[in-house]
Amino acid sequence: MKIAPVWRALEKHGGFELRLVHTGQHYDDNMSKVFFDDLRLPRPDVYLGVGSGSHGEQTGKVMIEFEKVLAADGGDLVVVVGDVNSTMASTLVAVKMGIPVAHVEAGLRSFDRTMPEEINRMVTDILSEILLTHSPEAERNLRNEGVDPRKIHLVGNVMIDSLHFYMPEAEKSRIVDELGLKPKTYGLVTLHRPSNVDDPAILSEILAALSTVGAACPLVFPVHPRTRKVIESKGLHVSPDRVRLLDPVGYLDFLKLMRYSSIVLTDSGGIQEETTALEIPCVTIRENTERPITIELGTNVLAGMSRERIEKEALRLIRDGVKGSRIPDLWDGRAAERIVGVIERHLDGRSP
């Protein structure tokens, strides 16, 4: 969802030779192939196929394979997005080979170094030549860490670019009707972060909270493979009449489900942003967020991971909704265009 609008804008410009590298960190068809189809991204020029593994294994595999790609044809700039292991690994390889990196979604900080994503963000940002931020607090975070201000560019949020671009197509999805749902009468759930789903005791508490919330507002829950594995292997209980477990769904189906939900409960960073843009109440099941602007200006509420807090915040939002929210500046669907302008100016100052 983050690379698609950037790729589209670079192609439209016409002045760049592009290569798309898929590391294979997300390898399940429902978590990868379906998204390429939905987003109308081209087939990757290179597929590294690194698959699953520990953080060290995954990072090491990406570095080994991506180094081969850059050794064959390094190009003038490597563009990375987000905060996954592939982001950090590709950045390390490129910088060590003397190729500058542009980081889309730079400067996000949860200030929780127990989160693997936080380490990935910090390493990527300190090494990147071009830091493309989505909000003012991201720029402040980078400046506070001593980053040269000339490297920082406030461009807006590419997730919202995708939201605007694909929503007309998502409206054609039949998933709401196929599931027998009525618009604005159900809630939507996503859970995938290791801190929430790897420990059965924590996940059990969250599922119990979802059952309580589901009594007030029935929930649909497309289950990440990582989460389903724990639920099934540990025999965790989910009330089927309150929380409906689904297989993972594609991006367009998910957008349709989110658009017509009355509340979203999630631990995803991107969904915190999308719900703010759609003005849908969102309960974030985490102790912190690297997207505080969605709380300050948007529809997001940080509920933590305890059953009582999740129930309290969700039931309050179901009852009262969110008042006084607004969409942050530059979340206007044109972030990718601004990114292309920054990249063009950077490359114009370099030898081909």
* Active-site annotation, residues: 192
Please tell me the distance from the alpha carbon of residue 195 to that of residue 211, in angstroms, as a whole number.
Answer: 20
Tell me the three state secondary structure of residue 281. Answer: coil
d(CA 114, CA 136): 24
Radius of gyration in angstroms for the set of CA atoms belonging to the chain, rounded to a whole number: 20
Closest to 138 in 3D by CA, of 351, 320, 292:
292
38-58: buried (b, 16+ CB within 10 Å) or exposed (e) per residue? bbeeeeeebebebeeeeeeeb
Structure tokens at 196: 């929430």
Q: What are phi and psi of 324, to 5 degrees?
A: 80, 15
Q: Listing from the earlier edge strand, what are the strands of the sheet with 243-246?
A: 243-246, 219-222, 187-189, 263-266, 282-284, 300-302
> Where are any strands of DSSP class E within the chain?
21-22, 46-47, 78-81, 101-104, 130-133, 152-154, 187-189, 219-222, 243-246, 263-266, 282-284, 300-302
Are residues 65 and 6 in contact, defined by beta-carbon separation less than 8 angstroms?
A: no
> What span, in angstroms and rounded, lies between the C-alpha atoms of 238 and 191?
14
Pairwise CA distance, residues 144 & 154, whole Å: 16
